[in-house]
Structure 1
Amino acid sequence: MFSTMKLGTRITLFVIGIVLICMTTVALIIIDRSSKIQIDEAHKLAINASKRYANLVQGFFNEVFIGLKASKQTFEELLQSGYNDDQPIMEKSLVNLVDSSQWGNYAYLYIKDPSYTQHNIANPKHKLPNGEFLILVHDQNPNVDGGVEVLQADPSILNFGSVQKALTTKKPTVGIPTKQNIGNLGERMGVGMNFPIFDKAGNVQGVLGIFVDLDAIAPRLIDASLSVFEGDYRVLMNQSGVIGIHYNKEVLGKSIFNVNTDPTVKKIMEKIQNHEDGIFDFTNMRGEHGYAGVANFEVGQGLNEYWSVMIPIRTSAILASVDALRLMFYVGNLISYVILGIILSYYIRFRVVGRVRSISEQLFGFFKYLNHETQTPPPPLKPTAQDEIGAMAMAINENIEKTRKGLEQDSHVVKEVVYIVEEAKQGRFGGSVTQTSPNPQVEKLKTSLNEMSTTLRGLVGPDLGKAAAIFQAFEKNDFTQRLENPQGLEKGVNSLGDSICNMIRVSANFAKDLESKSKDLEEAVRTLTESSNTQASS
């Protein structure tokens, strides 16, 4: 099919095909390289962002931790003073503690010392149902000073795992993210941060703690305006994988293993538990593959309590700009191919194929002239450019002109050859072809013909007609005519006439002698007859 197409169409398709292959190859290389660069940059952005948010949350947690640590000594001194009339001071100190913290909305002080139980509790709000002492305060607006209210002691505080752990381990503790409805003020997602309170003997007599409000911290992480890539989000969880902050509130307080069973989660958690920061393969809950930047941070000092900020990013979001670039390449290439095809078709049609067609027509006309189908050569081409096709046209013009002149010279030679042949038919020899030809074969023929004519002139003479006239005279017994300046065969004709004349002369002499002899014989016969008659008579 390709071989049956016109030259211009084939050239256009071939050039466009080559351009298509080259541009597509370049586009694929650029897109592939861009994809790798984009993924590398996304990795850097993800790990940097996760570290930045990890530092941010660590600062929030450490603010609370330092406040607790600083207040711990005050409460221990009040406890160890032996006076239970310092409860108002404890309440005031606890109010100041939670008011100074931006991220802790609840603060609590639990004391199990017998001197702080039952009737020894001055404020009924500080009495738990079991008669123990618990001060519970709530900061209604942590962002401004004041607004702290004292709540009725809530026994749910003692159910915090972190509170019980602080009592048993005698060490500061950080709980797991949980939803708590403290004082029936509504559920809040948070984590308890606690310090044990010791008496003079070093026995644990209570716990000082703050409930860190993760719901208040969440806007600093889940705000959509913080996203670098479409659909990315930030997750805060402890080293066990319990989720504290997530854009999907349904997963808060749950283990990441329960909300996402993909094998990549297990691998990431192994890195988190080893406190390894980095970028790792990750498939989210919707099954979308991508990567996750993970940054770990320690809560407090020396607690061996680590939390992590994870930022999952979908591969499709990372490569969105590359996809746009790919589409731009494809559309741009398509437009380029159409424009190139139009321009190339126009150029090839009028600047190449049109000129080639003119040369083709010129050659066909020249072939007709060579084959004597026409008597006139085609008119010379007029080159429109000094390029290869123009040079070809000039060469064709020059060769057509040379061929025309050569054929004209051949024609003159042939005319002379025909004339000499016609003369030869009339018996006239010795003529020669004087015209020349650029054709070596014609020249060879001319030379051979001239040699033959000269040779025949030498053999038979310049004009056989004259010899024929002599022979016709001989037929009429006229042997007196001779050829002047005889050559070749003419000499033989003259010699033949001379020979015939000599023979005639000899024959004439013989006749005369015979006649004389005949007369003598006749006379002798007559004499003899007469003698015989005489004798008979006598």
Structure 2
Amino acid sequence: MLKKLKIGTKAIAFIVLVVVLCLTVMSATIINIATDIQTKEARSLLETSAAKYANMADSFFDRMFSSLESISTTMELALQRGEDIEIIDGILANMFDSAGEAVYSFLYIVDPRYTSTISNPKLKLPNGNILILQVDDDLEGIGGIRTLQADNTISNFNSLNLTLKTGQRNVSQPAFVNLNNQNRQAMIAMNIPLKSTSGDMIAVMSVVANLENISKEMNAKDNMVFENSQVFIINSDGNILINQNIDYISQNLYNINKHHTVNNIIQAVKNKIDGIYEYTTVGGGV
């Protein structure tokens, strides 16, 4: 049929064919370029979002630890001088009031100068040690600090006993705890050792955060960059500190999600490698 066409018609048909081919190539190129741009923009948005949440987490935990650390030398000197327990209580309250999201603070004293002279049942533990346990009833404002009845539950904190044993500061594993007959809450404790002039352990000063409050704030709709996104934080052991589902806090990510992508996430955290990783949630979403 093409042979029957006039030369002019053939030329036009050829030009049209070339144009169509060019448009096809151009369309494919444009799609590829657009896809690359969208991919880069999505990656950039993911990185910006991750940085935002990382800064939020830092603001919560750094403020608590900074307050704890800033007053540790003052508290240590006061204990070394054998200051009255009322003064010690006041120093702890001043630190605690500026400790951000911390809901409890405590000073666990093992110094014989205090354990052998203080018999106040509000501060005395069954093992003979002294515990000043405080709660902040007004996290947003100034004041609201109360000293509670000493709770022997704290004597069994693994992180506290590790600090007493090693003389090193540490952060506890997340755990659900019932303190002072309050509701069971997901908590994490930050501990700093205090020592005598000769280097002996005399006390541990700590702040305790409620991980449920922080989880709710970090997963609030107002903070979401992507619709239906989930924010969670794990430590280097794979234990969950922050999660939209409060029941998952303190559990190991391996135990609640068997998908193979979990290993990549945990290894990245353990090796402190930033990046964007594929992750399939418990519900099957990516």
TM-score range, shorter chain: 0.7 to 0.9
Residue correspondence of structure 1 range 134-533 to structure 2 within 5 A: 134-289=131-286
Contact kept in structure 1, 2:107 and 2:133, CA below 8 Å: yes
Query: CA distance change for structure 1 residues 37 and 205 in 2, over 3 Å: closer, same or farther?
Result: same
Q: What secondary structure is seen at the aligned counterpart in 2 of 1:278? A: coil
Give the CA deviation at 1:133.
Answer: 0.4
Query: CA distance change for structure 1 residues 233 and 27 in 2, over 3 Å: closer, same or farther?
Result: farther
Give the CA deviation at 1:266.
Answer: 0.6
Distance between the aligned counterparts of 2:30 and 2:180, measured in 1?
61
- State the Cα deviation string for residues 263-299 of structure 1 (Å, max 9, x = none): 111122212111111111222212233xxxxxxxxxx
- Of residues 100, 123, 128, the one that matches 1:102 is 100
- Of residues 116, 121, 125, the one that matches 1:124 is 121
Q: What secondary structure is seen at the aligned counterpart in 2 of 1:124? A: coil
Gaps of 5+ in 2: 1-16
What amino acid is aligned across from residue 269 of structure 1 in structure 2? I
Query: CA distance change for structure 1 residues 207 and 248 in 2, over 3 Å: closer, same or farther?
Result: same
- State the Cα deviation string for residues 65-120 of structure 1 (Å, max 9, x = none): 2211122112211221145xx101111111222112221110000011222226x2
Give the CA deviation at 1:125.
Answer: 1.1
Query: CA distance change for structure 1 residues 288 and 24 in 2, over 3 Å: closer, same or farther?
Result: farther
Q: What secondary structure is seen at the aligned counterpart in 1 of 2:209? A: strand
Matched residue, 1:495 = none
What amino acid is aligned across from residue 67 of structure 1 in structure 2? S
What amino acid is aligned across from residue 44 of structure 1 in structure 2? S
Give the CA deviation at 1:218.
Answer: 2.4
Distance between the aligned counterparts of 1:259 and 1:23, measured in 2?
51
Give the CA deviation at 1:145.
Answer: 1.1
Give the CA deviation at 1:153.
Answer: 0.6
Give the CA deviation at 1:220.
Answer: 3.3
Query: CA distance change for structure 1 residues 38 and 259 in 2, over 3 Å: closer, same or farther?
Result: farther
Give the CA deviation at 1:27.
Answer: 6.8
Q: What secondary structure is seen at the aligned counterpart in 1 of 2:279? A: strand
Contact kept in structure 2, 1:174 and 1:194, CA below 8 Å: yes
Whether 1:54 and 2:54 are equivalent positions in the alignment is yes
Give the CA deviation at 1:29.
Answer: 6.1
What amino acid is aligned across from residue 170 of structure 1 in structure 2? G
Give the CA deviation at 1:30.
Answer: 5.3
Contact kept in structure 1, 2:132 and 2:150, CA below 8 Å: yes
Q: What secondary structure is seen at the aligned counterpart in 1 of 2:277? A: strand
What amino acid is aligned across from residue 208 of structure 1 in structure 2? M
Distance between the aligned counterparts of 2:223 and 2:175, measured in 1?
25
Radius of gyration: which is bigger? 1
Q: What secondary structure is seen at the aligned counterpart in 1 of 2:194? A: strand
Give the CA deviation at 1:60.
Answer: 2.4
Contact kept in structure 2, 1:138 and 1:150, CA below 8 Å: yes
Query: CA distance change for structure 1 residues 274 and 184 in 2, over 3 Å: closer, same or farther?
Result: same
Give the CA deviation at 1:199.
Answer: 1.1
Matched residue, 1:65 = 65
Give the CA deviation at 1:20.
Answer: 11
What amino acid is aligned across from residue 137 of structure 2 in structure 1? Q
- State the Cα deviation string for residues 389-409 of structure 1 (Å, max 9, x = none): xxxxxxxxxxxxxxxxxxxxx
Give the CA deviation at 1:21.
Answer: 10
Distance between the aligned counterparts of 1:115 and 1:123, measured in 2?
14
Give the CA deviation at 1:61.
Answer: 1.7
Give the CA deviation at 1:214.
Answer: 2.3
Give the CA deviation at 1:35.
Answer: 4.2
- Taking structure 1 as the reference length, what is the TM-score of the superposition? 0.47
Give the CA deviation at 1:121.
Answer: 1.7
Distance between the aligned counterparts of 2:226 and 2:25, measured in 1?
28
Give the CA deviation at 1:149.
Answer: 1.2
Matched residue, 1:88 = 86
Contact kept in structure 2, 1:110 and 1:135, CA below 8 Å: yes
Measured on the aligned residues, the alpha-carbon RMSD in Å equals 2.4
Distance between the aligned counterparts of 1:73 and 1:254, measured in 2?
35
Distance between the aligned counterparts of 1:228 and 1:205, measured in 2?
47
Give the CA deviation at 1:62.
Answer: 1.9
Give the CA deviation at 1:55.
Answer: 2.2
Give the CA deviation at 1:138.
Answer: 0.2
Contact kept in structure 1, 2:80 and 2:197, CA below 8 Å: yes
Gaps of 5+ in 1: 1-17, 290-538
Give the CA deviation at 1:158.
Answer: 2.1
Q: Which runs of 4+ in 1 moved over 3 A?
A: 18-37
Distance between the aligned counterparts of 2:148 and 2:57, measured in 1?
28
Higher helix proportion: 1
Give the CA deviation at 1:235.
Answer: 0.9
What amino acid is aligned across from residue 124 of structure 1 in structure 2? P
Q: How many residues align?
A: 269
Distance between the aligned counterparts of 2:222 and 2:34, measured in 1?
25
